[in-house]
Structure 1
Amino acid sequence: MMILSALSGASFGLTLGTAVKPEQIGVMNATILLPLIFLGSAFFSWGGLASIRWFQIVTLFNPLTYAAEGMRGIMIPTGLPGSVPVLDFQWVILGLLVTIALFLVLGVRGFVSRAVR
């Protein structure tokens, strides 16, 4: 899980690093990274958002959600009465693999276009 999460973060970082100009790094922190962190299920369980269904769906577009839910699912016992509801493991793996594939392709394309220019 940690390796998939690291690859997901690295591919996302590669994409951001090639898409954002060096002068706009401060703007990227405010507009991309802060919402990514606060909406990535790192501070709350994805399953705990069941009463706010629209927000639960929005968080599924955040790659950090899959990393956080995967780590939470591994470290916290699930299925017990009163346990924290987490995203199913197969969806976590699928989300991380899609994130890696998508952002790796975008990041490599961005890197090649910047390196060749």
Structure 2
Amino acid sequence: MTLADTADTADAAPPADSAGPRRTGTGPARPPVARAFAAIVWRDLFVAGKDLWFLLAQVLMTPLFMLFIFTRVLTMQGIVGVGFADILLPGTVALATFTTSLQSVAVPLVKEFGFTREIEDRLLSPLPTALVAVGKLVVATLRGLLAAVLVYPVGALVVGTAPGRWSSVPLALLIVLLAGWVGAALGMTLATVLPLQRIQATFSLFITPIIWTGCVHYPWQRLAEMPWFQVATAINPMTYAAEGLRAALAPHVTHLPVWVCLLVLGAVATVATVAALRTFTRRAIR
């Protein structure tokens, strides 16, 4: 082989590092998206665990007082029937799930987008902005699930009955997760759309009709004699969470069909998630 042939062969040979991946820069490689997402979610859960006692007080206070007054005090006075507990307990679990998830994402976002600007630390993580928002929705939904798990047994002790069967647990968990996700998505949308100075007042205006038009205290089908109010409650996603939990925990009580509750909650969860991710991304970029 001549020198010319050797030179031609050397020119044709590929570079030594072409077969392997190239690393640009001298810094460490970025962690995988899944690992970064899990780390952010775990951090939020760890911080939430430090405020567990405050969460317990926040979650249990209103539902337990509501159950005690309606099923003990008013029942003792003959104002409310004895079987009212089977109507109210599933509705109270739905209420605790929905409001806990909503507040768990909305209240921190108000602070993080406000004076502290803590949200900027999260936006610098190796994650797309939408995944940062999804992480917050996941944590808020899990807190809503915890609220349901706490309220149901303690509420059953208050009212003296625990409607439901073990076979209904999967359906109840599915409805609770959907209700929690809907509450979290709506809370994120409110917190990222409204001006900071109006958020607190708007929360009160938003949560109050959610509670009283959400079929927490009454079955939807028994509103037939008030069609205008029945239509108003049909607009409220809380209605389908409460009715779905009645179908799972107290099927002997009048309730909407389970498939209707799952269909509406799934549709609202999809629409609310898209809206929440868009408004979060727009607010983060601004």
Find the aligned partners of 2:211 and 2:235 in 1 and give their Cα distance: 13
1:92 positional shift = 0.1
Q: CA deviation at 1:91?
A: 0.7
Corresponding letter in the other structure for 2:178 = L
**C-alpha deviation, 1:54, in angstroms:** 2.0
Residue number in structure 1 paired with 2:260: 91
Shift of 1:42: 1.0
Aligned position for 2:182: 8
Of 237, 248, 266, which residue of structure 2 is paired with 1:63? 237
> C-alpha offsets along residues 14-60 of structure 1, whole Å, 9 cap, x if unaligned?
11121222211232133211111111111211112111122112211
**Bigger-Rg structure (1/2):** 2
Query: SS of 1:60's equivalent?
Result: helix
Match of 1:75 among 246, 249, 256: 249
Matched residues in 2 for 1:19 and 1:87: separation?
A: 33
Q: Distance in 2 between matches of 1:29 and 1:15?
A: 12
* Alpha-carbon separation, structure 1, partners of 2:216 and 2:262: 17
Residue correspondences, number:
112
Fraction of identical pairs, as percent:
34
Instruction: Report the CA distance between 1:9 and its aligned residue.
Output: 1.3
For structure 2, the residue ranges without an aligned partner over 5 or more in a row are: 1-174
Does structure 1 residue 31 correspond to structure 2 residue 183? Answer: no
Between the aligned partners of 2:212 and 2:260, the Cα distance in structure 1 is: 21
Matched position secondary structure for 2:276:
helix
The runs of 5 or more residues in structure 1 that have no matched partner are 79-83
Match of 2:281 in 1: 112
Q: Does 1:20 align with 2:194?
A: yes
User: Structure 1 residue 107: deviation in Å?
Assistant: 0.8
Give me the whole-angstrom Cα distance separating, in 2, the residues matched to 1:88 and 1:45: 12
TM-score (norm 2): 0.38
User: Deviations 1:57-113 (Å, cap 9, x if unpaired)?
Assistant: 2211111111111111111123xxxxx311111110011011101111111110011
Q: TM-score, normalised by structure 1?
A: 0.88
**d(CA) in 2 for partners of 1:33 and 1:110?**
20
C-alpha RMSD of the superposition? 1.3
Structure 1 residues 3 and 30: alpha-carbon distance in aligned structure 2, compared to 1, 3 A threshold: closer
1:54 to 220, 225, 228: 228
* Greater relative contact order (Cα < 8 A, sep 6+): 1
Separation in structure 2 between the aligned mates of residue 116 and residue 97 of structure 1, nearest angstrom: 29
One-letter amino acid of the structure 1 residue matched with residue 282 of structure 2: S
